[in-house]
């Protein structure tokens, strides 16, 4: 299947996927790591998993994978720490020092331990520091309570002394009681601390209830949120002072404090002691601060050194992990001295792979080289297209529908042109095309710079499709010139308009219209049409017919590609019983319609094409009368109708019967064929066997063929109608842009006022960019996509292959964890 057929011209790039081969490598164990590493650098082999039945833990290199996973975890930990500390790794590591993976493992372990220890220490210090800060706040606030209480108490005492009839007011401070009751010798105890603000009310209430009201609580809000030493989060807190009497009350209050997460701090009534504590706390605070700063500095230094080499380590660890992953997919030989690998590789890469294998066995001082041999594949090989930066985006458009079957004709080749072209048919305006071109040129010029960066989702997508957009813009400029629209304004770029008034006075120009005085406008739509009353009828008729013509052309291309497929795979059944009747059916109906359209244009006939087409089916024998476009039309139509009718059973019936016959023949022939001795034919036999032994279900094949036929016959009608979207979208685009131009820009112009003009211009720009350049681009893109996926590709494209995903370090580096 792989060899090129035809021979008239060389195989076209991209038209068929690369021919692949199933290769087997027998690698000595001592060279295996290096070999896989070199193959990963090359990136041209897709390994098969030969241990699919084994769980990840049963595989040979499970331990190494675990180790690499551990290293990756450490690196992730470093990355987290670096992110937290705001240390960013340099884009490109300056020094590429060679480092062994065992050394790296040890080093990573050491660094992690160091970092963890630093973190623990830092945390401890931070906690103490936060406690001190809270303590300081308590000292400040509580001494405030006591001072105010003391002053008001002395004031009240003085008052009491003067009046001796003190009514107990709610505000009576406790200090007074204490002093007044000093004779009773009941010492009141008190507790001070901090409680979170949101819990403070409940806290107060519970203490009050628990002690049956035998407490006095004072609270004061702390102005700024403080960092809670336990949780390390910023919280709003209140300073509280609780006065109580008796040991039992104290234990209760302590328990409540614990439950509410209120931190208590010792406090002394004595003013002197307070001051002493204050200075002590402040001193320790500043001391702590310098210690913490020094610790943080040291930690940042460590992180900085890590970040310098982080990327290098990271890629090394990833490589290691992927290498062991691949090694796990290889099967161990019985002698345990070599590993056996199987995988797909493109035929053209054979030389490169062999070179890499040789280098690997040489570099690892292996005594035996790796054995490279090509196997015969039973299953279908993966699909691999060598795309470049220009073609890859187009290929992605095709792949998004389905990856091509191995070596089937790739619609991507034509999509490169027809996709932007159909887009442009819907987006024809050379002003908008220029804007689009400028935008995409920005991406293309800064391509090198942008490709290394992380972009946003939408920018990333636009950047990936920059060449698609460039082609779309170029074609829109072309179709814009054809439609003669520049932001909906026509220009007489290619000579004078073909139309002029009937006479000098130009009186009936608005009633009967102009007449054609010159030869047809040479390129595109005559500018005179713009803004006339007959513009829409004319453009509608033109664009509708254009959609049909373009559609029929593209569908024919699709069917022709199905011929290439059939010829390439040597399937003459498909040529005779699929390609030919399909071609006849489509062209007998819609090819004929296209012909009629062209004939009508060339002759200027008044014939009604709808009528012709409808009565071709309803009463083909009737005379056409005034709808006749050319002599002998009736006979032609009869013949075409007959051909179309014949081609339906032609598509449906013979193929399943012939397939059945073929199958039977082959089956019989096989049982009586003499066994040939040569190795080659035996392998061929084996190869073919795998295909033939599938059971042949006639009913299934027949139903499949029936579905296929019905799909094609109905599809011919519906797909042709589907191409009318070209007309609809192109109409919508030109109408919208003329509305923006006339109703916004010209209206603003009419006011003769600079401010209104500026506002109008801004609105015009935003409407043009937002609606026409972004939304219309998207919708035209989607419709062009649909026309390619459905209308074009269903004529020939199977799209049931699978993609070639080589083992490559370049690909591993791309994906982010």
Partner 1 sequence: MGFLVTTLIFVVTGIIASLCARICCNMGPSTNLLHLTLIITATVCCWMMWAIVYLAQMKPLIVPILSEGE
Burial profile 502-527: b = 16 or more Cβ within 10 angstroms, e = fewer: eeeeeeebeeeebeeeeeebeebbbb
Question: Interface with partner 1 by CB under 8 A: which range of 176-184, 207-215, 451-459, 472-480?
Answer: 472-480
The string of DSSP codes covering 712-756 is HHHHHHHHHHHTTHHHHHHHHHHHHHHHHIIIIIIHHHHTT-HHH
Dist CA 85 CA 304 (whole Å): 10
CB of 522 to partner 1, least distance (A): 5
Per-residue tokens: 236 = 């709003």
Question: Interface with partner 1 by CB under 8 A: which range of 10-18, 61-69, 156-164, 646-654?
Answer: 10-18
Contact present, 554 and 726 (Cβ < 8 Å): no
351 binding partner 1? (CB under 8 A): no
Q: What is the CB-side half-sphere exposure of residue 184 using CA atoms within 13 A? A: 9
Q: Can you tell me which of 213, 519, 631, 674 binds partner 1, judged by CB under 8 A? A: 519
746 binding partner 1? (CB under 8 A): no
Q: Can you tell me which of 429, 526, 776, 791 binds partner 1, judged by CB under 8 A? A: 526
* CA-wise closest residue to 587 among 579, 268, 294: 579
Residues numbered 478 to 497 that lie near partner 1 (CB under 8 A) are 478-479, 482
521 binding partner 1? (CB under 8 A): yes
Question: Interface with partner 1 by CB under 8 A: which range of 101-109, 545-553, 617-625, 780-788?
Answer: 545-553
531 binding partner 1? (CB under 8 A): yes
- How far, in whole angstroms, is CA 185 from its chain's centroid? 80
Question: Interface with partner 1 by CB under 8 A: which range of 32-40, 237-245, 540-548, 643-651?
Answer: 540-548
**What share of residues in the chain are helix, strand, coil (percent, to 5)?**
65, 10, 30
Considering beta carbons, is residue 606 or 678 the nearer one to partner 1? Answer: 606
499 binding partner 1? (CB under 8 A): yes
* Helix (H/G/I), strand (E/B), else coil: 352: helix
Question: Interface with partner 1 by CB under 8 A: which range of 6-14, 568-576, 622-630, 772-780?
Answer: 6-14
User: Do the strands 263-265 and 46-47 form a parallel or antiparallel pair, or are they unpaired?
Assistant: unpaired
Considering beta carbons, is residue 491 or 538 the nearer one to partner 1? Answer: 538
2 binding partner 1? (CB under 8 A): no
Could you tell me the maximum CA-CA distance found in the chain, to the nearest angstrom? 137
Dist CA 582 CA 709 (whole Å): 9
User: Do the strands 338-346 and 46-47 form a parallel or antiparallel pair, or are they unpaired?
Assistant: antiparallel
347 binding partner 1? (CB under 8 A): no
Dist CA 315 CA 284 (whole Å): 46
535 binding partner 1? (CB under 8 A): yes
19 binding partner 1? (CB under 8 A): no
* CA-wise closest residue to 415 among 437, 390, 440, 432: 390
Considering beta carbons, is residue 283 or 495 the nearer one to partner 1? Answer: 495
For residue 489, the cross-strand partners are: 486
Considering beta carbons, is residue 326 or 413 the nearer one to partner 1? Answer: 413
CB of 641 to partner 1, least distance (A): 26
CB of 538 to partner 1, least distance (A): 5
512 binding partner 1? (CB under 8 A): yes
* CA-wise closest residue to 486 among 710, 200, 734: 734
Contact present, 371 and 28 (Cβ < 8 Å): no
Q: Can you tell me which of 42, 139, 194, 413 binds partner 1, judged by CB under 8 A? A: 413
CB of 615 to partner 1, least distance (A): 21
CB of 354 to partner 1, least distance (A): 22
764 binding partner 1? (CB under 8 A): no
CB of 446 to partner 1, least distance (A): 23
Considering beta carbons, is residue 412 or 465 the nearer one to partner 1? Answer: 412
CB of 498 to partner 1, least distance (A): 7
Considering beta carbons, is residue 524 or 656 the nearer one to partner 1? Answer: 524
Contact present, 412 and 810 (Cβ < 8 Å): no
Question: Interface with partner 1 by CB under 8 A: which range of 338-346, 485-493, 509-517, 799-807?
Answer: 509-517
Contact present, 588 and 641 (Cβ < 8 Å): yes
CB of 349 to partner 1, least distance (A): 16
Question: Interface with partner 1 by CB under 8 A: which range of 83-91, 140-148, 417-425, 452-460?
Answer: 417-425
533 binding partner 1? (CB under 8 A): yes
Q: Can you tell me which of 68, 407, 418, 587 binds partner 1, judged by CB under 8 A? A: 418
Q: Can you tell me which of 549, 560, 747, 773 binds partner 1, judged by CB under 8 A? A: 549
For residue 265, the cross-strand partners are: 192
Residues numbered 381 to 400 that lie near partner 1 (CB under 8 A) are none
Q: Can you tell me which of 62, 149, 542, 560 binds partner 1, judged by CB under 8 A? A: 542
Dist CA 681 CA 673 (whole Å): 12
Dist CA 788 CA 402 (whole Å): 12
Considering beta carbons, is residue 141 or 432 the nearer one to partner 1? Answer: 432
Number of residues this chain uses to bind partner 1 (CB under 8 A): 58
In terms of C-beta density within 10 A (0-12 exposed, 13-18 middle, 19 or more buried), how is residue 396 classed?
middle
Considering beta carbons, is residue 606 or 671 the nearer one to partner 1? Answer: 606
CB of 781 to partner 1, least distance (A): 17
Cα dihedral 603, 608, 610, 614 in deg (nearest 10): -100
For residue 332, the cross-strand partners are: 339
Q: What is the CB-side half-sphere exposure of residue 61 using CA atoms within 13 A? A: 22
- Compute CA distances 29 → 25, 357, 508, whole Å: 12, 13, 95
Q: Can you tell me which of 169, 185, 511, 678 binds partner 1, judged by CB under 8 A? A: 511
Contact present, 574 and 562 (Cβ < 8 Å): yes
* Helix (H/G/I), strand (E/B), else coil: 619: coil
Beta strands per DSSP E along 116-245: 189-196, 215-221, 226-227, 234-235, 237-244
Q: Can you tell me which of 40, 524, 558, 799 binds partner 1, judged by CB under 8 A? A: 524
Q: Can you tell me which of 300, 331, 532, 633 binds partner 1, judged by CB under 8 A? A: 532
523 binding partner 1? (CB under 8 A): yes
Q: Can you tell me which of 510, 683, 687, 718 binds partner 1, judged by CB under 8 A? A: 510
Q: Binding pattern to partner 1, positions 568-607, x when CB under 8 A?
A: ------------------------------x--xxxx-x-
550 binding partner 1? (CB under 8 A): yes
The string of DSSP codes covering 24-54 is EEEEEHHHHHHHHHHHHHHT--EE--TTTTS
513 binding partner 1? (CB under 8 A): yes
CB of 10 to partner 1, least distance (A): 4
Q: Can you tell me which of 1, 2, 5, 12 binds partner 1, judged by CB under 8 A? A: 12
Dist CA 430 CA 730 (whole Å): 13
- Compute CA distances 691 → 43, 402, 568, 573, 694, whole Å: 31, 23, 18, 17, 6
Considering beta carbons, is residue 478 or 615 the nearer one to partner 1? Answer: 478
Residues numbered 422 to 441 that lie near partner 1 (CB under 8 A) are 425
Dist CA 404 CA 397 (whole Å): 12
CB of 561 to partner 1, least distance (A): 12
798 binding partner 1? (CB under 8 A): no
- Find tokens 């042949």 and name the residue: 696
- Find tokens 């290889």 and name the residue: 330
Dist CA 677 CA 679 (whole Å): 6
Q: Which residues bind partner 1 (CB under 8 A)?
A: 9-15, 413-414, 416-418, 421, 425, 475, 478-479, 482, 498-499, 509-516, 519-526, 528-529, 531-535, 537-538, 541-542, 545-546, 549-550, 553, 598, 601-604, 606
């Amino acid at each position: 299947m792989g060899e090129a057929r035809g021979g008239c011209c060389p195989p076209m790039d991209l038209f068929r996927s690369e021919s692949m081969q199933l290769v087997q490598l027998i690698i000595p164990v001592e060279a295996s790591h290096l070999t896989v590493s070199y193959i990963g650098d090359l990136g041209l082999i897709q390994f098969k998993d030969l241990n699919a039945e084994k769980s990840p833990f049963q595989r040979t290199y499970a331990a190494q994978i675990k180790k690499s996973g551990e290293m990756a975890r450490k690196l992730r930990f470093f990355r987290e720490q670096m992110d937290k500390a705001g240390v960013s790794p340099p884009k490109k590591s300056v020094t590429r020092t060679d480092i062994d993976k065992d050394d790296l493992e040890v080093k990573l372990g050491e660094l992690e331990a160091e970092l963890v220890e630093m973190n623990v220490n830092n945390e401890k210090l931070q906690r103490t520091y936060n406690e001190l800060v809270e303590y300081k706040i308590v000292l400040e606030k509580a001494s405030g309570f006591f001072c105010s209480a003391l002053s008001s108490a002395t004031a009240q005492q003085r008052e009491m002394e003067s009046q001796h009839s003190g009514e107990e007011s709610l505000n009576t401070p406790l200090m007074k009681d204490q002093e007044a009751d000093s004779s009773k010798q009941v010492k009141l105890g008190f507790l001070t601390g901090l409680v979170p603000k949101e819990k403070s009310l409940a806290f107060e209430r519970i203490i009050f209830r628990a002690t049956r009201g035998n407490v006095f609580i004072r609270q004061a809000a702390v102005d700024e949120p403080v960092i809670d030493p336990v949780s390390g989060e910023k919280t709003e807190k209140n300073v509280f002072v609780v006065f109580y009497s008796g040991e039992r009350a104290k234990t209760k209050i302590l328990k409540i404090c614990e439950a509410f997460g209120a931190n208590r701090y010792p406090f002394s009534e004595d003013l002197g002691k307070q001051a002493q504590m204050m200075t002590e706390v402040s001193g320790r605070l500043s001391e702590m601060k310098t210690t913490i700063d020094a610790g943080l500095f040291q930690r940042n230094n460590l992180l900085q050194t890590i970040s310098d080499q982080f990327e290098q380590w990271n890629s090394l660890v990833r490589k290691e992990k992927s290498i062991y992953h691949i090694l796990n997919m290889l099967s161990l030989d019985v002698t345990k001295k070599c590993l056996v690998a199987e995988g797909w590789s493109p035929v053209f890469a054979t030389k490169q792979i062999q070179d890499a294998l040789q280098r690997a066995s040489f570099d690892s001082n292996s005594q035996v080289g790796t054995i490279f041999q090509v196997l015969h594949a039973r299953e279908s090989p993966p699909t691999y297209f060598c795309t470049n930066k220009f073609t890859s985006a187009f290929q992605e458009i095709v792949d998004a529908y389905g990856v091509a079957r191995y070596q089937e004709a790739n619609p991507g080749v034509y999509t490169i042109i027809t996709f932007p072209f159909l887009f442009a048919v819907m987006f024809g305006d050379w002003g908008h095309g220029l804007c689009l071109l400028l935008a995409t040129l920005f991406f293309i010029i800064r391509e090198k710079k942008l490709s290394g960066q992380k972009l946003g989702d939408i920018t990333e997508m636009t950047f990936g499709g920059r060449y698609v957009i460039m082609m779309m813009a170029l074609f829109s400029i072309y179709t814009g010139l054809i439609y003669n629209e520049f932001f909906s304004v026509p220009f007489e770029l290619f000579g004078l308009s073909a139309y002029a008034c009937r006479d000098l006075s130009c009186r009936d120009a608005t009633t009967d219209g102009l007449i054609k005085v010159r030869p047809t406008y040479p390129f595109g739509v005559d500018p005179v049409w713009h803004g006339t009353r007959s513009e829409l009828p004319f453009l509608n008729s033109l664009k509708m017919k254009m959609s049909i013509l373009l559609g029929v052309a593209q569908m024919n291309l699709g069917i022709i590609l199905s011929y290439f497929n059939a010829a390439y795979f040597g399937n003459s059944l498909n040529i005779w019983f699929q390609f030919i009747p399909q071609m006849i059916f489509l062209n007998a109906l819609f090819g004929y319609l296209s012909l009629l359209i062209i004939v009508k244009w060339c002759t200027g006939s008044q014939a009604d094409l709808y009528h012709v087409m409808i009565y071709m089916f309803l009463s083909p024998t009737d005379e056409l009368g005034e709808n006749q476009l050319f002599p002998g039309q009736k006979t032609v139509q009869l013949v075409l109708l007959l051909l179309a009718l014949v081609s339906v059973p032609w598509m449906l019936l013979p193929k399943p019967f012939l397939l059945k016959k073929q199958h039977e023949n082959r089956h019989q022939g096989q049982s009586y064929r003499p066994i040939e001795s040569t190795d080659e034919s035996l392998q061929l036999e084996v190869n073919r066997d795998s295909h033939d032994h599938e059971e042949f279900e006639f009913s299934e094949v027949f139903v499949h063929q029936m579905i296929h036929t019905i799909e094609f016959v109905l599809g011919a009608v519906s797909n042709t109608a589907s191409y009318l979207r070209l007309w609809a979208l192109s109409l919508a685009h030109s109408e919208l842009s003329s509305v923006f131009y006339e109703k916004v820009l010209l209206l603003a112009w009419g006011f003769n006022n600079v401010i209104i003009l500026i506002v109008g211009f801004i609105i015009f720009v935003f409407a043009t960019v937002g609606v026409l350049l972004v939304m219309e681009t998207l919708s035209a893109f989607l419709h062009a996509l649909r026309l390619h996926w459905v209308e074009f590709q269903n004529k020939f494209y199977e799209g049931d292959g699978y993609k070639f995903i080589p083992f490559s370090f370049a690909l591993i580096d791309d994906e982010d964890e």
